[in-house]
Amino acid sequence: MIELSGKQRILLALNRQEPDRVPHFEWSIDRKVREALLPGCRTLNEFAARMGLDAVMAEPDFSKEKVAEGRWLTEWGYTVQESAEEHAVEVASPIGTLEEAARYVPPDPHAPGRYATIEKTLEDYGRTHAVIVHLNDVFSIPRALLGYENLLMAIAAEPELVSALVEISVGVNLAMAKEVAERGVKIVYTGDDFAGDTGPLMSPEHFRRLFFPGLCRVMRGYKDLGLLVIKHTDGMIWPIIDMIVESGIDCLDPLDPIAGMNLGEVKRAYGSRIALKGNVDCSHLMTLGSPQQVAAATREALSVGAPGGGYILSSSNSIHSSVRPENYMAMLSTLREHGSYGRQG
């Protein structure tokens, strides 16, 4: 088989076909891991290109203002605190009531410069790599605008407030999706997590009533624009997985084995409808295990996920700061040795 580009591999996998080999990329690779493996490498996308990964990441540009040491007020109106990881965490939110939600004005999706990073990423990598743009669907923005605990309580106590925040999220993201599609983006992913290790963050009935309609609308809007959609959600999602698949996604990620998301079971149940990504445990195995154990888990994921196509190898979330660099290299080496079609296992 002719060697394909990363872009071609990802597109074939998302269409549930077999490329020359199983593709691989990660949503995030912590700078500590990157520096250990490629000293002096500045960015995730530079690392991805130099290490032979198949996709690079980009997202719209939003401004932020420093309000304290390590603390920033975002253009969305919520405040984040820097953490030990490369991503910050929300610590203060701008909305507390339905009335405040009604008055809230989100960032302008058409603002000048909003897509400068995406445009540069397409220019630098778009011919060889899949450029995947991070947007959202129905949970992350409501969580940031209301606060995590407040949102979980509002699901039961103030459903009208939750619905209003979902509407904000759907509207803004569909507008941004139109902008990125017009710039030539083919793939987006939504990083809204619906579950923890033991189950969804809300009952299936609450999910169906408050989040599922918006999820269907945003996915249908993305599809109408010709975008392929990778849906990321951590945790044990078995009670709501039918609705997630039914919403119209193209790929489900990250299928965390620690949360009971068995790759073989998901492939048997949904592999004819969606592609799959992930399943190599980064919580314990890649953090505390040996390279030999990671290699074995990678071979198992390839043997289960790859046959018939529609599989992208990755960790069960991201290559975070506690992942041992040698364990990530073990995954990559195993993929190179066993990831070509006809040679899994």
* 184: in domain: yes
pLDDT reported for residue 86: 84
pLDDT digits (tens, 9 = 90+) for 66-91: 999 999 999 999 999 998 888 899 99
Q: How many CB atoms lie within 10 A of CB 220?
A: 13
* Residue 316 lies in domain: 6-61+96-338
pLDDT reported for residue 342: 67
What residue ranges of the chain have pLDDT lower than 70? 1, 342-345
pLDDT reported for residue 344: 46
pLDDT reported for residue 85: 86
Give the total number of structural domains in the chain.
1
pTM over 0.85: yes
* 81: in domain: no
The residue type found at 330 is: A
pLDDT reported for residue 87: 86
* 166: in domain: yes
* 78: in domain: no
What angle is formed at CA 163 by the lines to CA 161 and CA 166, rounded to 5 degrees? 115
Tokens of 91: 């610590």
Q: Which residues contact 262 (CB under 8 A, 6 or more apart)?
A: none
* 91: in domain: no
pLDDT reported for residue 97: 98
CATH number at residue 185: 3.20.20.210
* 227: in domain: yes
pLDDT reported for residue 1: 63
